[in-house]
Amino acid sequence: AWGSSDDCGGLLKNYSGWISYYKGQKTDCVWTIQMKPGHRVVLQVLPLNLTCGKEYVEVQDGQAGPNNFLKVCGGVTFVYQASSNVMTVKYSRKSHHPASSFNLYFYGIPVGTERGGGWTRTADESNLP
């Protein structure tokens, strides 16, 4: 099943889908992607053109917590494979700054078919906010 979200956050349980940028007034949006047990979440971030210093996307392996895996604002395409069936994605921007567009694609893969966890392509440190 396909799923998509242009809302500000929420729980996404579809096997695959898109997270699209939120156009409303809220400045922090958190999406939790949850696959069925026995699957891992894979997230593909298409090239970003966010305003560094004013907005970013953060990817976390598992549930939302104090430690982030990557904050990125522009110029990169990367794929991340979670170590479990849960991944958290956060979009944050400063108030009064208009949201830039972005699209993130997620899907699940059965455990045993993955190529090891972690980044398959990493961000350039100069692109971090």
CA 31 to CA 43: how far, in whole Å?
12
Alpha-carbon distances, residue 65 vs 24, 59, 71 (angstroms): 24, 11, 14
Angle ∠(22,58,129) on CA atoms, nearest 5: 100
Is pLDDT at 118 greater than 70 in this prediction? no
SS3 state of residue 2: strand
CA 2 to CA 69: how far, in whole Å?
26
What pTM, to 2 d.p., does this model score?
Answer: 0.80
Mean of per-residue pLDDT scores for the chain: 82
Domains with residue ranges and CATH for the chain: 9-110 (2.60.120.290)
Q: Average pLDDT for residues 76-98, to the nearest whole number?
A: 90
Question: At residue 120, what is the residue type?
Answer: T
Structure tokens at 91: 């979009």
Residue 114: pLDDT band with limits 50, 70, 90: low
- pLDDT score at 65: 74
pLDDT tens across 30-79, in order?
999 999 999 999 999 888 889 999 999 999 988 877 665 788 888 777 88
